[in-house]
């Protein structure tokens, strides 16, 4: 049985990665399992300079999911390079850094540094809904996405994946911008913008009023978008949104994702990602599939 994939030039032992912002820089989950069991780790969104993030409350539970408005709190790329990367390098897994910025210059300067680090690829974050400048502000138009992606492409030799927001009218056209700008892959979906109101206080629960919805609640939306993007582009898709087991992962792969990420599913069970690897293998056994690559995009539409 073969579970190895090559995603956008990155060799992975299996198609299971962990999504940015749900796995930190790996340390906490390394208490529970060998991170080398994963195909790849996508780091917490990392910026050129440290960011302190949004005011609390930053998270709340919703039906089969949660809202978050962390605001990209992170220690900055320099700290990452010195403290977190050496730790992650101890494990036999692909390391992909989620890169975020407030301006094109910032994305470019950050990616110039990332290009010099011993990492396997960059996931460009054009989709965080919780910060005022940058990110989703670029990510919700074809031109915005193409502009940032092209600028980064010029300074980054490593595999470049662009993470898309679902908070757009036509995600396929946004994915096309990623491909047209020369990126190697797309990842989707980031969180859906949502809001929860405390009816006793008559105020939103989150201090930022709105936040990004994740968890199984968003899975059908994510599967649909992965399918749509798969019809529109030829670059590989990293699919995510509410995956909590192998069956969910297979659904995304049938829809067109070559690799998948576990996001909020990490929070409910620290073993969700490794169990998803096992779940995929068990599906392959059940369906006598020799090579996991054979099921990518193989959904038979009605």
Instruction: Give the catalytic positions in this structure.
Output: 128
Interaction between residue 197 and other proteins (CB under 8 A): no
Candidates 63, 202, 288, 302: give the one binding other proteins (CB under 8 A): 63
Q: What is the DSSP letter of 167?
A: -
36 lies in the binding site for other proteins (CB under 8 A): no
In the bound state with other proteins, the residue whose beta carbon lies nearer, of 31 and 157, is 31
Q: Is 73 or 293 the residue whose CB approaches other proteins more closely?
A: 73
* Packing angle of the helix pair 219-232, 246-255 (nearest 10 deg): 30
Rule CB under 8 A: is residue 271 a binding residue for other proteins?
Answer: yes
User: Which two structure tokens, joined as six digits, stand for 179?
Assistant: 């491909």
d(CA 14, CA 36): 11
Task: Tell me which residues in 204-263 interact with other proteins (CB under 8 A).
Answer: 205, 215-216, 244
Binding of residue 173 to other proteins (CB under 8 A) = no
Measure the CA–CA gap between 10 and 235, rounded to whole angstroms: 13
CA of 2: how far to CAs of 13, 120, 254, 292, in Å? 9, 21, 17, 6
Contact 77, 125 (CB under 8 A): no
Residue 22 near other proteins by CB under 8 A:
yes
37 is a site residue for other proteins (CB under 8 A): no
Query: Nearer Cβ to other proteins, position 244 or 254?
Result: 244
Peptide bond into 179 cis (omega under 30): no
Q: Determine the interface stretch with other proteins among 3-11, 62-70, 79-87, 149-157 (rule: CB under 8 A).
A: 62-70
Instruction: Indicate whether 80 belongs to the interface with other proteins (CB under 8 A).
Output: no
Task: Give burial (CB, 10 Å; 0-12/13-18/19+) of 221.
Answer: middle
| Residues lying near other proteins in the complex (CB under 8 A) | 21-24, 28-29, 31-32, 44, 52-66, 68, 70, 73, 205, 215-216, 244, 264, 266-271
């Amino acid at each position: 049985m073969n579970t190895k994939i090559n995603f956008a030039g990155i060799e992975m032992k299996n198609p299971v990665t962990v999504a940015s912002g749900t796995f930190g820089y790996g340390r906490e989950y390394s208490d529970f399992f060998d991170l080398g069991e994963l195909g790849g780790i996508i780091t917490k969104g990392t910026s050129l300079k440290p960011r302190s993030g949004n005011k609390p409350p930053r998270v709340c539970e919703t039906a089969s999911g949660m809202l978050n408005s962390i605001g990209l709190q992170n220690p900055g790329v320099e700290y990452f390079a010195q403290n977190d990367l050496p730790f992650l390098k101890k494990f036999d897994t692909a390391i992909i850094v989620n890169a975020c910025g407030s301006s094109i210059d910032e994305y470019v300067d950050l990616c110039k540094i990332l290009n010099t680090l011993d990492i396997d690829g960059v996931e460009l974050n054009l989709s965080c809904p919780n910060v005022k400048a940058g990110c989703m502000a670029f990510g919700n138009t074809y031109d915005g996405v193409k502009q940032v992606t092209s600028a980064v492409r010029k300074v980054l030799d490593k595999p470049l994946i662009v993470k898309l927001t679902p908070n757009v009218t036509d995600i396929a056209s946004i994915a096309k911008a990623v491909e047209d700008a020369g990126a190697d892959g797309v990842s989707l979906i980031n969180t859906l913008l949502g809001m929860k109101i405390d009816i006793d206080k008559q105020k939103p629960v989150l201090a930022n009023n709105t936040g990004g919805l994740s968890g199984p609640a968003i899975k059908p939306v994510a599967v649909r978008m992965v399918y749509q993007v798969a019809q529109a582009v030829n670059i590989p898709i990293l699919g995510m949104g509410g995956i909590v087991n192998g069956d969910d992962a297979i659904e995304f792969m049938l829809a067109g994702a070559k690799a998948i990420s576990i996001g909020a599913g990490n929070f409910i069970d620290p073993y969700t990602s490794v169990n998803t690897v096992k779940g995929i293998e068990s599906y392959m056994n059940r369906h006598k599939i020799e090579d996991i690559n054979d099921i990518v995009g193989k959904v038979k539409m009605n």
